[in-house]
Amino acid sequence: MVSGFGAEGSDGSKVSVNTKASGRIPNGALIEREVGNSLADGSDHITFHLHTADFTTARNTAAAINRMMGPGTAEALDGVSISVIAPTDTAQKVSYLAELENIEVSKASSAAKIIVNARSGTIVIGSEVIVKPAAVATGALTVTIDESIAVSQPGAFATGGETAVVPDSTVTAAQEEANFFVMEGGVNLQDIVTAINKVGASPGDLISVLEALQQAGALSAQIVVI
């Protein structure tokens, strides 16, 4: 799966979209060595690890196990690991885990994050993102450079002249009218999207706006660029 493409003409002109050199191979991993099995080691403890570190979820997991299996059965070691007392017999441990995996745990609210894929221009804004009051203006500056080649040659009756190639460059700059809009304090995800869509901001403009809001202290979220 490639996230970009490109085409090139014989005269040197070319068009590219996103990054041609990036891609991913689904299910492309190969296990070279057997993974150790902690079920048959005779230990009387099992340690669960959360996919995402969160102290609230770790505490809720330990509390849910203790309500089901009895006080003191589980203990949250940190924001990732939960230690649980378990049988030493392998067969009993499997049955025990089957009971534990069906326990419902209240997950903590997700952290406010904005994920930006710099290769494809994809932006994902989490529902927990909040913006403080801020005024934003966006506008694009376009610079066009036109290169052409002219041939200069002496007149029909000139003597000693030489034909010469003279490059001719034309540079023009055009700046779009700035679009100005106000973001109210405490707006939610839908309000952010609606405000940005009104001014027709491109993904590149949106990334710039979000980074500027974060630098101004008006964006309560972490921007992660992948």
What 3-state DSSP class applies to 7? strand
User: 132 falls in which pLDDT band (50, 70, 90)?
Assistant: confident
DSSP state of 199: T
pLDDT score for 12:
62
Distance CA 181, CA 209 (A): 11
DSSP H or E stretch at residue 179: strand 179-183
What are the DSSP calls for 135-162, one per residue?
EEEE--EEEEEEEEEEEE---TT-SS--
pLDDT score for 11:
60
How far apart, in Å, are the Cα atoms of 177 and each of 16, 64, 202, 212? 27, 57, 15, 19
Q: Which residue has the higher pLDDT, 24 or 50?
A: 50
Could you tell me the residue ranges of all domains in the chain? 40-100, 113-139+177-225, 141-175
Mean pLDDT of all residues belonging to the chain: 75
For the stretch 157-214, pLDDT in tens is 666 667 777 666 666 656 566 666 666 666 666 666 676 666 666 777 777 777 887 8
DSSP state of 187: B
